[in-house]
Amino acid sequence: MSFPDFSFELAAGAGSGKIVAGVDEAGRGPWAGCVVAGAVILDAKNIPAGLNDSKKLNAVKRELLYAEIMAKAKTGIGVASVEEIDKLNILEATKLAMQRAVENLGVTPDLALIDGNKAPKLSCQTQTIIGGDAKSLSIAAASIIAKVTRDKMMCELAEKYPEYGWERNAGYGTKIHQQALAKHGVTEHHRRSYKPIRELLET
């Protein structure tokens, strides 16, 4: 199994004074909740051990790495709301969340490494990397920040809407979620532009 490394960052000058950020998102697929982006500038001399694509880590490991990243790196978090997702579409809302995450770093990077193949408009240069969370340590770190942040938000929403199982499914269209939608209907936190929700509202 291959692991992310620091080669993209070093190629961009991260070891010689250039500021390189990794940017990733969590929550493009779910039927409910906002989309969250993370931006991380790692300290080349103090990189947390065990960084990997957040999807390849269990919840306990993600939480531990989240705390370590927050302590050792510069981080920024950006959110795009359900209303923005429905108004703009999920791709544009994701780009907006990424813009906000980079703005919230508190410093302007020289380069932002973006997971995927679509770059948001930023006040710095960008480089897209398909599958970047499995290739770049900075993007992997950003994926962890985004995922843990979003999961916490969905757990908080689950306390108000316990029927939908959001603390377990994070808003994805699981069987429990589908059954709850059929019984209890659509909430203000559901993405009305998504086909399954739109079809429910039309019936």
- The pLDDT of residue 76: 98
- Give the 3-state secondary structure of residue 1: coil
- The pLDDT of residue 126: 98
- Give the 3-state secondary structure of residue 13: coil
pLDDT at 203 over 80: no
- pLDDT band at residue 1, thresholds of 50, 70 and 90? low
Strand order in the sheet with 74-80: 74-80, 35-41, 20-26, 111-115, 125-129
- pLDDT band at residue 119, thresholds of 50, 70 and 90? very high
Average pLDDT, the chain: 96
| CATH classification of the domain holding 153 | 3.30.420.10
- pLDDT band at residue 16, thresholds of 50, 70 and 90? confident
Taking only the tens place, the pLDDT of each residue in 125-171 is 999 999 999 999 999 999 999 999 999 999 999 999 999 999 999 99
Percent of the chain at pLDDT exceeding 90: 96
Residue 2 lies in a domain: no
Residue 1 lies in a domain: no
Residue 22 lies in a domain: yes
Domain range for 39 is 7-202
Count up the domains in the chain and report the number.
1
pLDDT at 9 over 80: yes
